Amino acid sequence: MKTDSKLEKILAAGHLAVTGECGPPRGCMPDKVREKAKYLEGVVDAVNITDNQTAMVRMSSFAASVIVKQEGLNPLLQMVSRDRNRLSMQADIIGAYSLGIDTMLCLSGDHTRFGDHPMALNVHDLDSIQMIKMVKDMRDEGKFQGGAEIKGAPKMFIGAAANPFADPFELRVMRLAKKINAGADFIQTQCIFNVPKFEQWMEGVRKMGLHKKTYILAGVTPMKSVGAARFMQKRVPGMDVPQELVDRMASVPKEEQAEEGVKICVETIQRLKQVEGVSGFHIMAIEWEEKVPEICERAGLLPRPQV
């Protein structure tokens, strides 16, 4: 064990892990964070706290993580390099660990032009791979990125993201290898709708033996409507939503589309359980957290193991 992270304990014990997501509000609304967290209590092993996702200003992931921790859940602190330099990142990592947060996800972040402050500068002092290496050295070597000794190293369980569907596809596995070599202990993937393409990506992962060097959590998202399916298909960069899924959502009455979206999500989890190298699932029910318990129940992921 590298850390005291509950997520690491679940994975190290050989259980299928389950993580969820809690997007902080766009205002001073701590009760909104608590409300979302309650839906996930006892249902997931860790809760991703997103960091100004889609380049929109929100409550800080650090603050929302502390609130989730106070509610008795295990926050998974997301950190994007877009918004901070290496001094700020290291300060936040030390601060978060000092408050009992021991699991994090290292990301580059969406470009500011996609958000509500397109005039904002992108910092990117480090990219996500360099950030992973920095956190690993802080944990394992007790060294700041600049080389100085840390008195009280943050023992973070380090995560990274992977998109099996981005172009060029043939380089996706190599990019994953770079993140693993930098120190990523676990991986959360982009939402999986094109299962055959994900399975093809996993073949490449297994050929390089990468599934034995890290834990891969397959990302899934329930679709609320055919409109949401079309939006993700055409408007969300890096998302691969096959036309047959859009057609399937469109084939049922509007009032039944939410149930169809949940059914597709559950079917996807059941199929991905059979894929060698998948160590768990990251359920991204965006602004639909109340559906996560039902999805986990129907997919056979409950009750969660105790470690």
Give the mean pLDDT of 64-78. Answer: 98
Distance CA 12, CA 145 (A): 28
Omega into 305 within 30° of 0, i.e. cis? Answer: no
Distance CA 18, CA 145 (A): 31
Q: What is the pLDDT of residue 237?
A: 77
Domain borders along the chain are 6-298
5 phi/psi in degrees, rounded to 5 = -60, 130
| Contact (Cβ atoms closer than 8 angstroms) between residue 304 and residue 44 | yes
105 phi/psi in degrees, rounded to 5 = -125, 125
47 three-state secondary structure:
strand
The pLDDT mean for the chain works out to 97
| CATH for the 6-298 domain, from 3.40.50.300, 3.30.1330.10, 1.10.645.10, 3.20.20.220 | 3.20.20.220
pTM confidence score: 0.97
Q: What is the pLDDT of residue 205?
A: 98
Q: Within 10 Å of residue 306's Cβ, how many Cβ atoms?
A: 9
Asked whether the predicted pLDDT for residue 235 surpasses 90, the reply is: no
pLDDT by residue (tens digit) across 265-302? 999 999 999 999 999 999 999 899 999 999 999 999 99
Say what angle helices 226-235 and 257-272 make with each other, to 10 degrees. 60
Give the mean pLDDT of 256-261. Answer: 98
Burial class (CB in 10 A: 0-12, 13-18, 19+), 247: exposed
Give the mean pLDDT of 91-105. Answer: 98
